[in-house]
Amino acid sequence: MASQLIRVTKKDGKEVSYELTPAAKVAFESHHKTGWRKRLIEEQMDTDLWWFAHFLIKAKGETTLEMGDEFLSQYSDVEFVIDSKNG
């Protein structure tokens, strides 16, 4: 089965991937009042990818920062990746 990942690139070029968890998907839909797949496909906003990245990074205990400029300034890019190498 393919993994759905959010991959962030830090300012130093290091890439870190986080699995898109059921908790993240449910939290996104609760927060945005729409399906996560529909919103990512139809609107294609980086804001949504950064929302997922922040949620997942915070859930891992890797930041205490709120979503905003201070958090975002640590990174240079974010992307949604479907990893099917095991499937």
Q: At what angle do helices 46-59 and 36-43 cross, to 10 degrees?
A: 140
Neighbours of 65 (CB within 10 A): 15
**pLDDT value of residue 82:** 87
How many folded domains does the chain comprise? 1
**pLDDT value of residue 86:** 56
C-alpha–C-alpha distance, residues 18 and 6, integer Å = 5
Neighbours of 51 (CB within 10 A): 21
1-55 pLDDT, tens digit per residue, is 678 999 999 999 999 999 999 999 999 999 999 999 999 999 989 999 999 999 9
**pLDDT value of residue 62:** 96
Strand pairing partners for 63?
Answer: none
45-81 pLDDT, tens digit per residue, is 999 999 999 999 999 999 999 999 999 999 999 999 9
Q: In which element (H, E) is residue 4 found?
A: strand 3-10
- Per the structure, the complete domain to which residue 69 belongs is given by 3-83
